[in-house]
Amino acid sequence: EADIYQTPRYLVIGTGKKITLECSQTMGHDKMYWYQQDPGMELHLIHYSYGVNSTEKGDLSSESTVSRIRTEHFPLTLESARPSHTSQYLCASSVPRGGRTDTQYFGPGTRLTVL
């Protein structure tokens, strides 16, 4: 069973606001990921990290940024939210330190609505 947490679960915010979506995992996983997904649709990788101080952009261009200062924490920030950012954001992690499996375990997601 995975221990990966996302807050908030739901967020409704006005255009232009700065927001940070939190993601934490307690499994000691090195790799972490952020996906963007419209409900029930395909997942799009927007950011990932191999470990502390590592961040990479994914396949889908995103105006968001991420940071990885601690192994367990991988927050995503939108400096100025827009209605086009309305979506579900899913955080995942994989690969315990020294391990080899790449099975990704997901948090419960944050449903963001920008008005």
Residue 55's region, left for phi above 0, alpha for psi from -120 to 50, else beta, is: beta
Choices 19-27, 62-70, 72-80, 87-95 (CB under 8 A): range interacting with another protein = 87-95
Q: For residue 81, what are the β-bridge partners? A: none
Smallest gap from Cβ 65 to another protein, in A, equals 19
Judged by CB under 8 A, which of 17, 57, 73, 111 binds another protein? Answer: 111
Piece in contact with another protein (CB under 8 A), picked from 12-20, 60-68, 73-81, 100-108:
100-108
Q: Which of 92, 93, 112, 114 binds another protein (CB under 8 A)?
A: 92
Q: Which residues contact 40 (CB under 8 A, 6 or more apart)?
A: none
**Interacting residue ranges for another protein, rule: CB under 8 A:** 2, 39-43, 45, 48, 88, 90, 92, 101-109, 111
